[in-house]
Amino acid sequence: MTKIQLPGVSFPVSCLCLGCAYYGSRESESDSFYLLDIYYERGGRFLNTAHEYGRGLSEQTIGRWMRSRGVRDEMVITSKIGEDLTKPNSRAMRPHELHEDINETLSRIGYDYIEFALLHIDDPDIPVESILDTMEEIRQAGKILYYGCSNWSVERMTEADSIAKKKGYKGFCMNEIEMNLARRSIPNKDRSTKWLDESFAAYHRKTQMAVGAYSPLAAGALTKMMEEDGIERLSQYGRTAYLTPYNMEIARRLAALASETGYTGAQLQIAWLLSQPYGFPVFPIIGPRTPEQLIDCLGSLDIDLTPGQLSYLKPDRGVYIE
């Protein structure tokens, strides 16, 4: 699998990151190990998890897999800290909470450091400076190599960039945010998680900060919307977030291109992200549930979309550039 260089990071990472959100919970340990083995055999070395996923089961499963295969030195691990679903607003960004999270994350994974720790969900009530001071402390203690954010607003990321510059900190190395061919119909201000709209695209073009694109298949909604009975199979969230005329048109175009090229809808969506037609570095974080889905997703690595196909898949020119 090709590796890409993220700006400001000293080592390259696999161009396709494996999302492990449900490992050890929805997916059993043996099913999770099987998915990890397939990804590894295809050259994948970049895993994504979070302190909150499965209340620790995801991190534990990844750690056990790396130990059982003896591959820790080859892998790059991202985990996310600073979210606590037991709290009414999910946020846990005070210094002692971030320290507790990273210590627990490392003990669950079973190694003394991870490469990337991201702040999972922002808490605008906590000053950015206090959060950055804490992440620098964690980095300088050798528990992480780099830190970044997820689901932060452009305003707070910009503030973090200027504080980091002023204080000589490493600052954020990446932003993990929803990014896919769909447009989520729930506005960013109405949810704590964020999707990459025009304002985020402008920020990333200007700063060249890398994007970890989560939900690259719009949580599976677009592939379902390509099929005749697919709308009935959308989850309640899938309907609310993605069932719009714009996204139906994207699904129609995906189906047409799939039938013309022989690639699947999932492959085309991931290949579109891998083609980077938007002016800043992006790596998709895929979330296949089954081995068949994973093998299908990995097929996107062999696709070269033509400029005509890339622009066919994006009828709006807002977020993306040629």
Ligand X SMILES: NC(=O)c1ccc[n+]([C@@H]2O[C@H](COP(=O)([O-])OP(=O)(O)OC[C@H]3O[C@@H](n4cnc5c(N)ncnc54)[C@H](OP(=O)(O)O)[C@@H]3O)[C@@H](O)[C@H]2O)c1
Q: Applying CB under 6 A, which residues contact ligand X?
A: 19-21, 48, 80, 150-151, 176, 193, 214-220, 223, 266, 285-289, 293, 296-297
DSSP assignment letter at 177: E
Closer by beta carbon to ligand X, 281 or else 284: 284
Instruction: Please state the closest distance from residue 221 (CB atom) to ligand X, in A.
Output: 8
Closest CB to ligand X among residues 9, 234: 234
Which residues, listed in sequence order, are joined to residue 118 by a DSSP beta bridge?
A: 80, 148
Nearer to ligand X, 171 or 220 (CB): 220
How far CA 103 is from CA of 6, 46, 100, in Å, comes to 26, 21, 5
For ligand X, the closer of residues 169 and 214 by Cβ is 214
Greatest distance between any 2 Cα atoms in the chain: 55
User: Which residue number, 70 or 223, has a Cβ lying nearer to ligand X?
Assistant: 223
Rounded Cα gap, residues 242 and 227, in angstroms? 15
CA 141 to chain centroid: 26
Burial class of residue 295, CB neighbours in 10 A (0-12, 13-18, 19+): middle
3-state helix/strand/coil string of 45-76: CEEECCCCHHHHHHHHHHHHHHHHHCCHHHCE
Q: Least distance to ligand X from the beta carbon of 11, Å?
A: 20
Task: Kindly tell me which of 77 and 322 has the beta carbon lying closer to ligand X.
Answer: 77
Question: At its nearest, how many Å lie between ligand X and the CB of residue 46?
Answer: 11
Terminal C-alpha separation, the chain: 25
Collapsing DSSP to helix, strand or coil, 205 comes out as helix
Compare residues 106 and 254 and give the one whose CB is closer to ligand X: 254
Minimum Å gap between C-beta 116 and ligand X is 12
Residue 208: CB partners within 8 Å, gap ≥ 6?
7, 280, 281
Contact 4, 15 (CB under 8 A): yes
Count helices and strands (H / E) in the chain: 12, 10
